[in-house]
């Protein structure tokens, strides 16, 4: 057994992380840190855990746990780690965007590795510090990496992706409350979304010619999940494309290539990414679907933890979608 600490456990990603780790065969949750809910039961913030755990939030941090997950707002992980010095053998998995880019990956001697298992599995296994990918970034990278590897992304790529309201975090905003979000769809941050940086760095890691990625994110009128569509010029056959993707993901536990059209419900509440390919004339359309809170956040963080501690990669992540 290993001991785990969770920093910032009252939000959506913290709640999903707690839910997964409570069922994990090799993990004991040592503490769940919260500045706003210290002393209160975890179920006060996450009512789905009522009767599942009697754990309480705490305002104290145990610096000697085996692994700590940072579920803090973007920009806050750096400040937290500067204030709290964990033991040198404590592994850190950060779910914010603080350390995802190459230029931000080192903090006081700690080298953070980009935690996309389908790209960096062998490096993750040896890492002590992980920068968990963003949710949009996960869905889009998994849709495009096989093409990038074989130098098939030299043309521009157009990406349109829609995310549920949980992607905006637990704090209410003008565009996340029910009366605005329900029966409504809108775009935001057109072509400038913060996940583009990590997407481009991963695509360029193969040292091939990569066209411009034009990304238009959308707010959907549903709770969770991301459906991304990406299309680009492609001069090979659809059969070849399917084989390229199947070969790239042949050892990927949670990324599946579907020969049938996919929909969002089939991955929500799971750590899966489902991908479908479609060709129209000389254009290849790649559709990917993930749960933004699981494969796009907490589930992928546990997947990374499993790799770092040499557990079975899928341990604790045998989750089933509710498609009906």
Q: Are 155 and 283 within one domain? A: yes
Q: Cα(324)–Cα(320) distance, rounded to whole angstroms?
A: 12
- Whether 314 is covered by a domain: the verdict is no
- Whether 252 is covered by a domain: the verdict is yes
Q: What pLDDT is stored for residue 311 in this prediction? A: 98
- Which residues of the chain, if any, have pLDDT below 70? 168, 170, 172
Q: Are 82 and 228 within one domain? A: no
pLDDT tens figures, 240-297: 999 999 999 999 999 999 999 999 999 999 999 999 999 999 999 999 999 999 999 9
- Whether 258 is covered by a domain: the verdict is yes
- Residue 85 gets the label, from left (phi > 0), alpha (psi -120 to 50) or beta, of beta
**Total of domains in the chain:** 2
Query: Which amino acids are annotated catalytic?
Result: 135
Cross-strand partners of 161: 217, 228
Both tokens of 83, joined, read 């204030």
Q: Check which CATH number belongs to the domain holding 46 and give it.
A: 3.40.50.720
Q: Are 114 and 145 within one domain? A: no
Q: What pLDDT is stored for residue 322 in this prediction? A: 86
Strand 226-233 relative to strand 283-290, pairing: antiparallel
pLDDT tens figures, 60-75: 999 999 999 999 988 8
Q: What pLDDT is stored for residue 178 in this prediction? A: 79
Q: What pLDDT is stored for residue 273 in this prediction? A: 98
Q: Are 286 and 303 within one domain? A: no
Q: Are 108 and 239 within one domain? A: no
Q: Are 124 and 190 within one domain? A: no
The length of the chain, given as a count of residues: 324
- Whether 56 is covered by a domain: the verdict is yes
Helix axes 12-22, 298-308, angle to 10 degrees: 50
CA nearest neighbour of 113 among 88, 83, 91, 135? 91
Range of the domain at 48: 2-132+297-308
Q: Are 109 and 184 within one domain? A: no
Q: What pLDDT is stored for residue 177 in this prediction? A: 76
Q: What pLDDT is stored for residue 167 in this prediction? A: 80
Q: Model-level pTM?
A: 0.96
Q: Which helix (H) or strand (E) holds 227?
A: strand 226-233
Q: What pLDDT is stored for residue 140 in this prediction? A: 98
Q: Are 223 and 253 within one domain? A: yes
Q: Check which CATH number belongs to the domain holding 257 and give it.
A: 3.30.360.10
- Whether 74 is covered by a domain: the verdict is yes
């Amino acid at each position: 057994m290993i001991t785990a600490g969770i920093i910032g456990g009252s939000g959506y990603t913290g709640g999903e992380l707690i839910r997964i780790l409570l069922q994990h065969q090799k993990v004991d949750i040592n503490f769940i840190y919260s500045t706003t809910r210290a002393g209160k039961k975890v179920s006060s913030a996450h009512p789905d855990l009522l009767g599942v755990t009697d754990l309480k939030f705490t305002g104290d941090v145990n610096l000697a746990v085996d692994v700590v997950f940072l579920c803090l707002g973007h920009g806050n992980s750096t400040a937290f780690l500067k204030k709290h010095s964990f033991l040198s053998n404590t592994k850190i998995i950060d779910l914010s965007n603080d350390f995802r880019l190459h230029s931000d990956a080192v903090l006081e001697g700690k080298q953070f590795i980009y935690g996309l298992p389908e790209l960096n599995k062998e490096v993750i296994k040896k890492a002590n510090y992980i920068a968990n990918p963003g949710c949009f970034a996960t869905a889009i990278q998994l849709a495009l990496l096989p093409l990038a590897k074989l130098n098939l992304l030299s043309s521009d790529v157009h990406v349109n992706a829609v995310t549920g309201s949980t992607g905006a975090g637990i704090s209410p905003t003008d565009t996340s409350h029910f009366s605005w979000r329900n029966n409504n769809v809108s775009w935001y941050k057109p072509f400038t979304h913060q996940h583009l940086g990590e997407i481009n760095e991963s695509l360029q890691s193969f040292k091939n010619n990569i066209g411009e990625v034009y990304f238009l994110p959308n707010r959907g009128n549903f709770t969770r999940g991301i459906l991304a569509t990406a299309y680009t010029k492609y001069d090979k056959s659809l059969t070849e494309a399917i084989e390229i993707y199947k070969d790239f993901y042949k050892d990927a536990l949670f990324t599946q290539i579907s020969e049938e059209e996919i929909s969002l419900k089939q991955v929500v509440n799971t750590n899966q990414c489902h991908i479908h390919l479609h060709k129209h004339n000389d254009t290849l359309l790649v559709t990917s679907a993930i749960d933004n809170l699981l494969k796009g956040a907490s589930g992928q963080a546990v997947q990374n933890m499993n790799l770092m501690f040499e557990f079975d990669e899928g341990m604790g992540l045998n989750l089933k979608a509710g498609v009906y």
